[in-house]
Structure 1
Amino acid sequence: MLVENKTTEFKREYVEDIKNTIAAFANCDGGTLYISVNDVGTVCGVEDVDGTMLCVTNAIRDAVWPDITIFMECRNDVMDEKSIVCVTVQRGMARPYYLQGKGMRPEGVYVRQGASTVLATDAVILNMIKETSGDSYEAARSLDQKLTFDKSADFFKKWKVEFGKAQMRTLHLIGEDDMYTNLGLLLSEQCAHVIKLAVFEDNRKSVFKDSRELSGSLL
C-alpha cells in the first residue's frame, strides 16, 4: 500500500498548490504526485482525466521557473480499477526551481521535508545554487532576476558596441539556463555591493586625503 513520504504525495483532486509540490520534488530527490488519492491512500477516481492533466501541465508551465517540464511526466493510470493522474518528477538540473510570481526567494522556493512540502530557507536556496553553478560567484545564478542594465547599455552605446541578449550571453551576464548570473547582477542597477575608495598622499598611506563610496552598477 502506498503511503505519503518524501517522494510520494496524494491529492484528492487538482488544486492550485500542486505546483508547489512538483517544484519541491524537482528541488530534492524527485517524486510522484497521485491525483485522486486521499491522504490515507484511498483511491477516489478522476472523472475528467484529460482536463486534469491539462490543468497540471498548464500550471507547471506557467508558474514554475526554470522550465521543469522536461523533468516531468503527467500520465493516466489505473488503481483499484479507478482512473487517476500520476505526475512523476525527476530531480532537476537547474535548481532551485521557484514560483515565477514570487521569485527565487524563501517565499517562492519549495522543498520536501518528510511527507510535507515546505518553503526553503535562504541557506538551502544558496546551497542549491552552489551545487548547480559550482563555486564561482560570478557564474552562479543571481538571486535577483529582475535586473536592469541602463548604465551598461549607455556605456556600450558610447563605444558603439551592441548590448543585447546575445552579447549578455557572450559576456556571461546570462547563463546557460537563460538566467541572470551574479556577474550580471554586478553590472545591473540592482547591485547592492558598495565599493569603498580611499586616496592617500603617497604609497606609505600615512596621510589620508579623500574617500568615496560607489554603489549600483560597476559601470
Structure 2
Amino acid sequence: MSETNRIEYKEKLTRDLDLEKEVIAFLNYLEGGLIYLGIDKQGKVLGVDDIDSDMLKIKDRIKNNIAPSAMGLFDVVAEERDGKDIIKIIVAGGSEKPYFKKKYGMTEKGCFIRVGTAAEPMPQAMIDKLFASRTRNSIGKIKSHRQDLSFEQLHIYYQELNKQFKKNLELLTEDGFLNYAAYLLADVNNVSIKVAKYKGLDRVDLLENNEYGYCSLIKATKSVLDKIAVENTTFATITSKERIERKLWNPVALREAIYNAIVHNDYTREVPPKFEIFDDRIEITSAGSLPDGLSKEDFFEGVSMPRNKELMRIYRDLDLVEQLGSGVPRILKSYGKECFRFMDNFTRMTFPSSEKITEQVTEQVTEQVTEQVTEQVSKLLSVMGRDETTTAELMTKLDMRHRPTFLYNYLQPALDAKLIEMTIPDKPKSSKQRYRLTEKGKQIK
C-alpha cells in the first residue's frame, strides 16, 4: 500500500526525523491519520530494531513537544507485518486546532497541515482562523462548580498517582482550577447513568429503573457493564450431540457500545448517557451527535475524533478501551450501520435481541443461565484461601502482571460485590493492606 492523505511511512526513528511535524499535520487534519515506522516510501517493510524503546520515545516526544496537549488523541501500537515488527501511530483529528510545536508556537514554523501525502506549513491566515474558532466549550476547559473534590477511586485504579496527577491527567483548567473532567472522575458528583428495563416494546410498562452514579465515572461505568452483563442472558440449547450457547446481544459489540456512549457523551449538556432494555432490543443513547466536520462515512470508516480526550486518555491508561477508532468497526461487524441513528442532539445505538429459543418436544431442552459473578471475579475467588493475602500475592496466583487490569476487572468488582473485604478498610492504600473472603464470598466459592 502506498502513502495517501491519511497514511505516512517512515523508515526509522532518529533525532533528525521530524516526527512532531507529521503528528501535528494529522492533528490539524479533519480525519487524522496513520504513521508507520519501519516501512519505506515504496511500502517495503524494513522493521524496527528496538520496538519497545522507540515506542517510549515516540510517546514522550508527542507528549512534551506538541501543544495543545495531544494526550487522548493518539495511540502508539506494535504490529507485525511480513514477519517483522513495525510501529503504528494512530492520530485523531483534534478539536483544539491549530496544534503546533511548542518550540515555535502558532507560527508557520510550528503549525502544519496535511496536503496530499505531505505535511506542509500552515499559512498564517489559516492559523489565525483556526485559533479564532477553536473549541473552548469542552470538559477540560469548563471549571467544575465544586473544587472540594476527592479522588480515592482514581487512586485505587491507578495505584501510583503522584502529587501532580491532577495536572498530568489534565484535570485542571488553564487557570489551575479543577475542570469538569475532574468532576466526572471525582468520588462524589451529581452524575447518574440510567439503566431501565421495560416490559414490551415501548416505554409504557417500566419494570426496573436503576441508576449508577454519584461517584467516579469509572466506577459507574463498571456498574453499568456488570448490570447489562447480567441482563445479557445466556441461552443454551442442549441436544444429544452438543450444547449450543448464545447471548441476547454480541458481548464484544455491546461492551464497545457501552464504552463509546460513556466516553464520547457530550457532558457539557449535563445529560448523561442512558441504557434501555426492551423485549426485543437494547437502546443505548448518548448526548451529542457527530462532532462538527465528521461525516457519517468517516465515522463508519473508523475515523476517530474523541469528544472528551481527557476521558479517552484515562480509560486507555486503565486498558478499558483499546486503540483509537477500533470500537465502531467492532460494532459494525455484528450489527451493521443500521444500528446507528444520528439525531440533532443525540446518538442512539439499537441492538436487536437474538431469536429466543423455545422449548422443543424432540431432543432439545432450553435452559436459562444468568451469570451473577463475572469470570474474572470467579477466578479471583478460586485462588483465595482462608488466610489474608496481599495484592501482589493474588496477582502472582493469577499469573497477572498488569496491575490496572487486575484492580479494575478482578479486585474492585469483588470488593463492590462484597465477596472480599479489606483488613484495613479505613486506609485502602495502606502498605499493610490485606484481603480476605467475606461470608458471602465463601458461599459463592
The normalised TM-score by structure 2 is 0.30
User: 3-state SS of the aligned residue for 1:67?
Assistant: coil
Structure 2 Cα separation of the partners of residues 120 and 81 of structure 1 = 38
Structure 2 Cα separation of the partners of residues 75 and 119 of structure 1 = 27
Structure 1 Cα separation of the partners of residues 176 and 133 of structure 2 = 26
* Partner deviation per Cα, 1:12-51 (whole Å, 9 max, x = no partner): 0013301110111000020000000000000001111101
Matches within 5 A, 1:1-219: 2-15=1-14, 16-28=17-29, 29-133=31-135, 165=175
Counterpart of 2:25, as a letter, is A
Structure 2 Cα separation of the partners of residues 103 and 92 of structure 1 = 17
Q: Please say if residues 95 and 135 of structure 2, whose CA atoms lie closer than 8 Å, have aligned partners that are also in contact.
A: no
Given the superposition, is the C-alpha separation of residues 79 and 166 from structure 1 closer, same or farther in structure 2, using an over 3 Å criterion?
closer
* Partner deviation per Cα, 1:60-111 (whole Å, 9 max, x = no partner): 1111011102100000001112110000000001111100010111111011
Structure 2 Cα separation of the partners of residues 61 and 8 of structure 1 = 21
Unaligned runs of 5+ in 1: 135-163, 170-219
Deviation (angstroms), 1:118: 1.0
- Give the structure 1 partner of residue 333 of structure 2: none
When the two structures are aligned, how many residues end up with a matched partner?
139
Higher percent of residues as helix: 2
Structure 2 Cα separation of the partners of residues 43 and 82 of structure 1 = 7
- Give the structure 2 partner of residue 188 of structure 1: none
Q: Please say if residues 98 and 106 of structure 2, whose CA atoms lie closer than 8 Å, have aligned partners that are also in contact.
A: yes
Identity %, equivalent residues: 25
Structure 1 Cα separation of the partners of residues 176 and 81 of structure 2 = 49
Counterpart of 2:12, as a letter, is E
- Give the structure 2 partner of residue 140 of structure 1: none
* Partner deviation per Cα, 1:127-181 (whole Å, 9 max, x = no partner): 22233248xxxxxxxxxxxxxxxxxxxxxxxxxxxxx9459x9xxxxxxxxxxxx
Given the superposition, is the C-alpha separation of residues 166 and 34 from structure 1 closer, same or farther in structure 2, using an over 3 Å criterion?
closer
Structure 2 Cα separation of the partners of residues 9 and 78 of structure 1 = 17
The normalised TM-score by structure 1 is 0.59
Counterpart of 1:87, as a letter, is I
Counterpart of 2:77, as a letter, is R
Counterpart of 1:18, as a letter, is L
User: 3-state SS of the aligned residue for 2:87?
Assistant: strand
User: 3-state SS of the aligned residue for 1:123?
Assistant: helix
Structure 1 Cα separation of the partners of residues 84 and 176 of structure 2 = 51
* Higher RCO (C-alpha 8 Å, min separation 6): 1
Structure 1 Cα separation of the partners of residues 19 and 51 of structure 2 = 16
Cα RMSD of the aligned pairs, angstroms, is 2.2
Deviation (angstroms), 1:4: 0.8
Structure 1 Cα separation of the partners of residues 122 and 176 of structure 2 = 33
- Give the structure 2 partner of residue 141 of structure 1: none
